[in-house]
């Protein structure tokens, strides 16, 4: 098996997993992947998932890969808040939520962190075009903020909410308060609703 044949077959897919490889050639020697990674011809994303080095510098390629290497999942939490311009910090780790167990992967694209939520809480996300005509599952702003309050319950006081430094213009013009309230109730958590109401009172209504 030559690397050129492999690349010609899979390059347009942007990434490849081992199941696709075996579907293409059932007798494929997996040691080829290890050898090509050592030579820098491929990059391992996680066990069984690989990408071509030409894509590593493409803008938003990390977002694209996030959905692909751990399914089902959607980008949320600080990563989504930064994507929408809701928080001022640049976020290096790509954070997502999933109905699967917690997971963390480190590769040439950076760190991918997946937090676990119950299957019935996998809502409030939609497809967004982010890279090269591809789309991926991204939390809506309101759900990203609720995921944060739910998974990081230390955000609970007025000062905690203010320290999020949520962008005033976004919260006034683009944030859907009714959707935020509706989604908060779907969590069926009194503690979360209390934190959500604290955020509405001190961050949105006073901004």
Distance set, CA 103 to CA 57, 152, 199 (Å): 24, 16, 29
What pLDDT band is residue 207 in, cutting at 50, 70 and 90?
Answer: low
| pLDDT for residue 90 is more than 90 | no
Domains of the chain, residue spans: 3-55, 61-204
Lookup: tokens for 127:
């497809």
Contacts of 196 (CB under 8 A, 6+ apart): 146, 149, 180, 181, 184
- In the structure encoding, which two tokens stand for residue 26, read together? 């059932």
Q: Cα–Cα distance between 134 and 137 in angstroms, integer?
A: 11
- Across the range 30-38, mean pLDDT stands at 97
pLDDT at 101 over 90: yes
Continuous segment of H or E residues that includes residue 116: strand 110-116
Helix (H, G, I), strand (E, B) or coil at 45: strand
pLDDT of residue 206: 64
Q: Strands of 15-17's sheet, edge to edge?
A: 15-17, 49-51, 43-46
């Amino acid at each position: 098996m030559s690397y050129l044949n492999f690349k010609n077959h899979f390059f347009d897919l942007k990434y490849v997993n081992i199941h696709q490889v075996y579907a293409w050639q059932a007798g494929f020697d997996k040691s080829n992947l290890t050898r090509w990674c050592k030579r820098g011809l491929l990059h391992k994303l996680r066990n069984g998932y690989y990408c071509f080095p030409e894509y590593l510098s493409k803008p938003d390629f990390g977002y694209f890969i996030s959905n692909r290497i751990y399914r089902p999942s959607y980008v949320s939490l600080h990563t989504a808040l930064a994507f929408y311009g809701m928080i001022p910090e640049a976020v290096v780790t790509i954070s997502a939520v999933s109905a699967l167990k917690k997971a963390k992967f480190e590769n040439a694209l950076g760190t991918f962190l997946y937090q676990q939520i119950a299957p019935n809480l996998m809502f409030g996300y939609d497809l967004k075009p982010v890279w090269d005509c591809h789309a991926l599952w991204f939390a809506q702003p309101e759900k990203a903020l609720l995921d944060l309050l739910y998974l990081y319950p230390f955000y609970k006081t007025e000062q905690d909410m203010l320290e999020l430094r949520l962008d005033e213009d976004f919260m006034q013009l683009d944030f859907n308060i009714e959707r935020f309230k509706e989604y908060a109730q779907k969590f069926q958590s009194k503690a979360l609703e209390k934190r959500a109401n604290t955020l509405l009172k001190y961050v949105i209504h006073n901004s």
